[in-house]
Amino acid sequence: MLQKILAELNLSAAQVLMVGDTAYDMAMAEAINMDRIGVSFGVHNADALKKHQPLAVIDALDELLLHV
């Protein structure tokens, strides 16, 4: 799915950051070597998100700006 979106927008994975709240989001981004940040206040907990080696797992939306 991410590759299709990138192709439609004429972007590469290196130009984009995935922000997601599920391990599925993190796995999709990891599969195409896209940088990713997990949000712990969604569907999956921080431990599940960290399994996919995100740049960070944040606990509040305002923390996002500290990592981009």
Q: How many CB atoms lie within 10 A of CB 58?
A: 21
Residue-level pLDDT at 25? 96
**What is the domain extent for residue 54?**
2-66
Counting as low any pLDDT under 50, the low residues of the chain are: none
Given the structure tokens 């981009």, which residue do they identify?
Answer: 68
pLDDT at position 67:
86
How far is it, in rounded angstroms, from Cα 3 to Cα 8?
A: 9
In this prediction the pTM is 0.90
Q: How many domains does the chain have?
A: 1
Task: Read off the CATH number of the domain in which 60 is found.
Answer: 3.40.50.1000
Which residues, in sequence order, are bridge partners of residue 19? Answer: 37
**The predicted structure's pLDDT at residue 68:** 77
Give the sheet arrangement for strand 56-58, strand by strand. Answer: 17-20, 35-39, 56-58
Predicted pLDDT at 11: 97
